[in-house]
Amino acid sequence: MLLEWSHWLSSLHPEELITFLWALILVDGARYGLLKVAFTLGDVLRTFFQAFAGRKPKPEPYVPRVCALLVGYNEADTIAHTLKSVHGAYPDLEIIVLSDGSTDEMERVAHDFARTHDGVLVMSRPHRSGKSSAMNFALQYTNAEVIVVIDADSELGPDALVKIVQPFSDPRVGAVSGTVLGRRPFTNLVTWLQSYEYLNAILVGRLFAARMNLLGIVSGAFGAFRASALRTIGGWDVGPPEDLDLTLAMRRKGYRIAAAPYANAFTDMPTTWYALLRQRMRWDQSGIIRNHCRKHIDMGLPWSASFKWSDFVLTAGMWITNIVCLIGIWIWMIWMACTHGLEMWKPLFTLYVGYLVIEAAQAATIVYYSNDKPRDAWLCLCFPIMPFYQAVLMVERTWAFLREAFWRASFEDNFVPWHVRRATWKW
């Protein structure tokens, strides 16, 4: 097969080869991969020159008062472990645990921890109201300068809280994205691929997006927010995805969104394909259409009162990459199927090889920026399988796009209780 493919490839005119390979720009991994490689080469050169020039002394760490906010629903099995990773992780820290209508022992487990550890406030609400409402309720019980939201099933890495608050020394910063990584990445192939994806999209991807002032999301699993900025915009609106919605609202108010790549939190991941696809369906159908194309569409409209070029580039980029390119790759495949028939495997294999080269370069960027190179080098060994993983997710994203575009499916997601969904404006 390889011999037949190589003969076919060598028989193509350059224009024909370009026709096949232009599809690479329609594929997420390849499109962003080239940009990441360019940035990484720039950082390598910068590090090289700094080695000769000498490093500047590090400034004193910024130490604002921090409130760690842990909101959960039926998280009795994980809340104690999460609290152990948070308590004592920062010099001026208070912790608020809120059980949002849990029917298990989450509240009791949290109270048991609070009895033997100072600075922990445990509250509960009798009826589930959803994460956004619960966090807004808890916000009134703290006077901290920075609110750090941590999922009740996550655990923090070393010095994560210290690292995530440092960008707030810049008064323009309203929110900081931590780096969420997969816990137990080698459980099976599903968790391995997700762990690599997290490194690529969150560790490296958000680092570069923040540098260009184009970061549009702070993970709800581990993110920090300036308390005054939160109160200015009225807190969290009903999600999902409340993390994306809040970040875009902060950008509209003029705040910068920063990234703390080495502030790590480790979270559990879906361990089956079915669970993974259900999770991504919820994420994808509540993202681009609901927020970028409806609720926050004015960020991409030059005539809006709060127009900023950085917001326009971010929004237009989301429209192009998540709608135009998604439709484009389907058109490309249909065209290839019509023009090549049974020989379609040849252009598809060509696309795979091109993707693989770029994916290998992306794996190298992950290892370069990693703060645990042995661990992440092993994780990156799955990169030859990533095109197949991305193909599965592309089918899922297409279905999520259609469900939200025509039926507003995100408003039927039980992530938010029915009585809250019923009272919510359907953007």
* pLDDT (tens digit per residue) in 322-356: 999 999 999 999 998 998 898 999 989 998 998 99
What's the mean pLDDT in 36-55?
A: 84
Q: Pick from 133, 74, 22, 76: which is nearest to 417 by CA? A: 133
SS3 141: coil
What's the mean pLDDT in 211-219?
A: 96
Instruction: Work out the pLDDT band at 178, boundaries 50, 70, 90.
Output: very high
What pairing do the DSSP bridges indicate for beta strands 120-125 and 93-100? parallel
**pLDDT greater than 80 at residue 427:** yes
Range in 10-24, 63-77, 173-187, 342-356 the model is least confident about? 10-24
pTM assigned to the model: 0.94
What's the mean pLDDT in 140-162?
A: 96
Strand partners, 121: 96
Predicted pLDDT of residue 158: 93
Contact 44, 56 (CB under 8 A): no
Instruction: Work out the pLDDT band at 147, boundaries 50, 70, 90.
Output: very high
Ordered strands of the 173-182 beta sheet:
120-125, 93-100, 66-72, 146-150, 222-226, 173-182, 256-267, 154-156
Predicted pLDDT of residue 57: 72
Predicted pLDDT of residue 141: 97
**pLDDT greater than 70 at residue 269:** yes
Task: Write down the architecture of domain 66-271 according to CATH.
Answer: Alpha-Beta Complex (3.90)
Q: Write down the mean pLDDT value for the chain.
A: 93
Predicted pLDDT of residue 54: 67
Residues of the chain with CATH 3.90.550.10: 66-271
Predicted pLDDT of residue 29: 67
What's the mean pLDDT in 88-97?
A: 97
Predicted pLDDT of residue 31: 67
Instruction: Work out the pLDDT band at 149, boundaries 50, 70, 90.
Output: very high
What's the mean pLDDT in 273-292?
A: 94
Instruction: Work out the pLDDT band at 417, boundaries 50, 70, 90.
Output: very high
**pLDDT greater than 90 at residue 195:** yes
Task: Report the first-to-last Cα separation within the chain, whole angstroms.
Answer: 51
What's the mean pLDDT in 368-382?
A: 96
Instruction: Tokens for 106, please give them.
Output: 């989450």
Predicted pLDDT of residue 229: 97
Instruction: Tokens for 233, please give them.
Output: 């915009």
